[in-house]
Amino acid sequence: MKKILTAVLLVTLLTGCGQGSPTESVLFPESFTYTEQTAEQFGIAPKKGYAPLNFSYVVAEWLPYMRYEEMMSGRSAEEFRSAFRGYISGAKSEGVNTVYLHVHPCGDAYYRSEIFPKGVSLTGDYDPLAIMLEEAHALGISAHAWINPLRCQTAEQMQGLPGDFIVKKWVDDPDCRIAKLVNGRWYLDPAYEETDRLLCRCIAEIIGNYDVDGVHIDDYFYPEPDASFDAEEFTESGSDDLAEWRLGNCSRMVKAMYGAVKSADSRVQFGISPQGSISGNYNSQFADVRLWCGSEGYCDYIVPQIYFGFRNESCPFAETLALWEDMTSDKVRLVIGLGAYKLGKPDKWAGAAGENEWTDEPDIIERQIALVGASSADGYALYK
């Protein structure tokens, strides 16, 4: 195993809990732009050797952790390899050239980690990420490590974890507010820079030990819009606009993660997959997607989940695609997320005009792929 990257300033994890007001300094200042000197500045040894594989036109697919139960649970390393080889070979035959592999879905790890407990579906003593990367790269497929920044274990799962894991320590500390319980699941609060540092340490551990081609985060930002989630932190911040303050917290976190990726290996891509509804990003999850896809220093590519039909009454596909095209600068690559999982099912959220579109029109994904191909987007990604 390669030596884990050392990060004196960037990824030193504070084992203590943030008390009172979240700190005002940031890991990377607002003016941060990656340069070759950044890694040295932040004490990170840049990775050498493997040259990441990425494509000018992306045909991607997500492999979510829910699939691991069947592929991984109760299976040996060779049985898992066989199951994954079947999956990745099938993806290759369908023209997929990039996969987003769920490696840190719920405060856990589907790889060798010194920071997080192993995922619940990993019942054997082997390294699934190493196997997945070997198999994907053998077929010339780009493989990105997909992580959920803020979502952690359920309350029941957390109770069963050993006390030496950092998030478990935060949960067990009655004075600590970094982790919050929402509807039976723990989430990290992006108001705290301890959250940033933990995520940066996660990224450094993955890039330092594995030949990943990218790091990919999805749309789990604020778990709820209710003001009670972070009322104390907001009051202590001195801000007078909750939405703007939350947007700033998420942007600081995203900038830190981008900086961690580039400081570890400037060739590795960093991507974000927000929800497809632009207003929903701002109103419910406080993700400043206009800033992220319109500016340098936040991501290399963005994959909005435009899981809508052409007749969706709130976010019709063609019009929503055009909005994302207009927002995305030429410095950020635009990949369109398509909801293939909706095929054959009614969509009760689409309004009367679009409710039966996914059942009545089985060629909807093919038509969306064609429209993406005619757009300025750099490819598409399927969620099945």
Is 213 a member of any domain?
Answer: yes
pLDDT band at 335 (very low <50, low <70, confident <90, very high): very high
Residue-wise DSSP of 225-260: --GGGGHHHHHHHT-S-HHHHHHHHHHHHHHHHHHH
More confident residue, 24 or 167: 167
SS3 106: coil
pLDDT digits (tens, 9 = 90+) for 352-378: 999 999 999 999 999 999 999 999 999
Q: How far apart are CA 157 and CA 161, in angstroms?
A: 7
Is 12 a member of any domain?
Answer: no
Angle between helices 77-93 and 128-138 (to 10 degrees): 40
- Domain holding 247, by residue range, is 38-150+187-303
pLDDT band at 97 (very low <50, low <70, confident <90, very high): very high
Taking residues 21-44, what's their average pLDDT? 46
End-to-end CA distance of the chain: 33
pLDDT band at 48 (very low <50, low <70, confident <90, very high): low
SS3 216: strand
- For the full predicted model, state whether its pTM sits above 0.85: yes
pLDDT of residue 252: 97
Count of domains observed in the chain: 1
Q: How far apart are CA 289 and CA 286, in angstroms?
A: 9
Is 223 a member of any domain?
Answer: yes
Is 163 a member of any domain?
Answer: no
Is 119 a member of any domain?
Answer: yes
pLDDT digits (tens, 9 = 90+) for 199-224: 999 999 999 999 999 999 999 999 99
Is 54 a member of any domain?
Answer: yes
| CATH value at residue 135 | 3.20.20.80
pLDDT digits (tens, 9 = 90+) for 235-270: 999 999 999 999 999 999 999 999 999 999 999 999
Is 156 a member of any domain?
Answer: no
